[in-house]
Amino acid sequence: MRGKGPGNKAVPGVLPLAPGYFRKPRSLWSDAWRRLLRNPVAMTGGVIAILLVAVALGARYVAPYDPVAQDLANSLASPSPTHLAGTDVHGRDIFSRIIYGTAISLRIGFLGMLLGCLIGVTLGLASGYYGGWLDMVIMRLLDVQLAFPGLLLAICIIAVIGPGLENVIVAVGIFSVPMFARVTRGQVLSLKQQDYVLAARMMGAQDGRIMIRHLLPNALAPILVIATLRIATAILTAASLSFLGLGAQPPTPEWGAMLSDGRQYLTIAPHVATTPGLAILVTVLSFNLLGDGLRDALDPRLRV
Partner 1 sequence: MQPIKFLGILLLVSSLVALGGTACGPTAPAEKVITIGQYADAVSLDPQDTNDNASYSIEKPMLEGLIGFNEKMEQIPQLAERWEASPDAKVYTFYLRKGVKFHDGTPFNAAAVKANFDRIRNPDNKLKRYTLYKIISQIDVIDEYTVRFTLAGPFGAMIATFAHPAGGINSPTAVEKYGKEYGKNPVGTGPYKFVEWVPNDHITLVKNPDYWDKANGPKVDKIIVKPVPEAGTRIAMLQKGDAQFINTVPYAQAETVKGDKNLNLVATESIYTFWVSMNVQKKPFDNLKVRQALNYAIDKEAIIKAVLRGYGKPANSPVAPLVWGHAPAKTYPYDPAKAKALLAEAGYPNGFKTTLRGAESTEAKEVMVAIQGQLKQVGVEAEVISLPSATLSAERFKPLAENTGEIDYSGWSPSTGDADWAIRPLLTKENWPPTNYTIGFYTHPKVEELVKTALQTSDAAKRKAAYAEVQQIIMDDCPWIVLWVNYVLGGSRANVGGIAIQPDGIGFYRSVYYK
Q: Which of 224, 251, 292, 296 binds partner 1 (CB under 8 A)?
A: 251
Could you tell me the CA-to-CA distances from 279 to 21, 49, 171, 182, 270 in Å, in that order? 49, 12, 22, 31, 15
- Least CB distance to partner 1 at residue 113 (A): 29
**CB count in 10 Å sphere of residue 76:** 16
| Distance, C-alpha 43 to centroid of its chain | 15
Q: Do 206 and 119 touch, CB atoms closer than 8 A?
A: no
What is the C-alpha to C-alpha distance for residues 275 and 255, in angstroms, rounded to an integer?
9
Candidates 134, 146, 265, 296; binder of partner 1 (CB under 8 A) is 265
Candidate list 4, 25, 203, 267; residue touching partner 1; CB under 8 A: 267
Instruction: Please identify, among the stretches 11-19, 54-62, 258-266, 274-282, the one whose residues bind partner 1 according to the rule CB under 8 A.
Output: 258-266
The contact pattern for partner 1, residues 219-238, with x = CB under 8 A and - = no contact, is --------------------
Question: Are residues 91 and 67 in contact, defined by beta-carbon separation less than 8 angstroms?
Answer: no
Minimum distance from residue 82 beta carbon to partner 1 (Å): 17
Tell me whether residue 63 or residue 115 sits nearer to partner 1 (CB atom).
63
Distances (CA, A) of 265 to 21, 67, 95, 168: 67, 19, 17, 26
Beta carbon of residue 112, minimum distance to partner 1 (angstroms, whole number): 24
Indicate which single residue of 7, 268, 300, 303 sits in contact with partner 1 (rule: CB under 8 A).
268
Answer for which of 64, 208, 217, 245 binds partner 1 (CB under 8 A) is 245
CA distances from 149 to 119, 122, 144, 157, 191 (A): 20, 23, 11, 12, 31
Q: Contact letters (x/-) for partner 1, 68-107, by CB under 8 A?
A: xxx-xx-xx------------xxx----------------
Q: What does each C-alpha distance from 296 to 42, 117, 186, 300 come to in angstroms?
A: 10, 21, 19, 9
Residues that bind partner 1 (CB under 8 A): 68-70, 72-73, 75-76, 89-91, 245, 249-251, 260-261, 264-268
